[in-house]
């Protein structure tokens, strides 16, 4: 390990901890080609449980702050060489701003935007409200692409992320959610790059037990249980006739994407 560059305070979720910062050679951004700082942060504490808590917090939030500098946590290690210590492998956080995303036949403007790379796969996530002239094209395109994927055909298409990279990126849809606002639907869209894509990124979530996926599964299960109880009560009272359910219908497709959690906003997934 290189010599200590500085001692600094790191904010890790709700924790504040003093760290030895060891800077290393910068690396080139996969997105913009600019050089990003890299470092290792060593946080020492004689209490093993406290060190473990630091590691778990860093893994959970994935980003830490050093004053105005934001770091992305790329890895963590529990070190015992000179007493219990958490070692965080850090990379300078790159704030990507996409002014517009070109899809085949239409464009959308993100309100929130971020990209991540896990191994070789690139995940693009955005929150957007398609403008009236594009919203029907977007909905039709999403349904058509998803129909192909339901028949086990991977449907990749090119997008251009203006402000990030001007060359096309081949992607497919991962997880897509929407919620209803006074000004129309907002969509939370995850795109998964063709490069590096495999079963582990099926829904645009890199790890099968990611907190985001866990929350989505919990919310969907709770919603399904509530709807089933309501349907059973209405049918028992002869107020609702049993109807066949077409899982491939446009209505069923859009219902699966709806995010209707009252106490948690869709943008919290950012």
The answer to whether the beta carbons of residues 38 and 47 sit under 8 Å apart is: no
DSSP H/E element including 106 = strand 106-108
pLDDT at 165: 85
- The mean pLDDT values, 10 residues at a time, for the chain of 270 residues are 76 89 90 87 92 91 88 91 90 88 90 84 88 73 68 78 90 84 82 81 50 55 67 75 58 62 57
Between the CA of residue 266 and those of 65, 97, 99, 128, 255, what are the distances in Å?
A: 24, 19, 21, 11, 15
pLDDT at 208: 40
pLDDT at 235: 75
Between the CA of residue 129 and those of 51, 136, 160, 207, what are the distances in Å?
A: 42, 12, 18, 28
Two tokens, residue 178: 């929407």
The answer to whether the beta carbons of residues 245 and 164 sit under 8 Å apart is: no
Q: What CATH code would you report for 6-92? A: 2.40.10
pLDDT at 153: 61
pLDDT at 184: 77
> Phi/psi of residue 54, each to 5°?
-60, -45
pLDDT at 238: 76
Domain ranges of the chain: 6-92, 96-270
pLDDT at 155: 82
pLDDT at 244: 55
């Amino acid at each position: 390990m290189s010599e200590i560059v500085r001692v600094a305070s790191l904010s890790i979720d709700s924790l504040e901890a003093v760290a030895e910062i060891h800077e290393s050679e910068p690396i080139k951004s996969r997105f913009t080609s600019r050089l990003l700082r890299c470092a290792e942060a060593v946080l020492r504490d004689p209490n093993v449980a406290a060190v473990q808590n630091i590691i778990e917090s860093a893994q959970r939030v994935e980003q830490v702050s050093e004053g105005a500098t934001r770091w992305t946590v790329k890895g963590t290690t529990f070190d015992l060489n000179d007493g219990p210590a958490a070692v965080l492998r850090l990379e300078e956080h790159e704030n990507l701003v996409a002014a517009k995303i070109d899809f085949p036949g239409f464009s959308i403007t993100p309100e929130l935007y971020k990209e991540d790379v896990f191994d070789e796969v690139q995940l693009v996530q955005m929150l957007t409200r398609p403008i009236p002239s594009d919203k029907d094209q977007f909905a039709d395109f999403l349904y058509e692409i998803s129909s192909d994927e339901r028949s086990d055909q991977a449907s990749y298409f090119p997008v251009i992320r203006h402000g990030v990279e001007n060359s096309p990126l081949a992607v497919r849809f991962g997880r897509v959610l929407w919620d209803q606002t006074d000004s129309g639907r907002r969509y939370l869209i995850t795109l998964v790059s063709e490069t590096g894509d495999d079963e582990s990124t099926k829904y645009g979530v890199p790890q099968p037990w990611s907190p985001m996926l866990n929350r989505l599964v919990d919310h969907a299960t709770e919603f399904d249980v509530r709807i089933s109880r309501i349907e059973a009560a209405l049918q028992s009272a002869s107020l609702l006739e049993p109807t066949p359910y077409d899982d491939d219908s446009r209505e069923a497709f859009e219902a699966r994407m709806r995010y209707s959690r009252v106490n948690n906003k869709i943008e919290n997934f950012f």
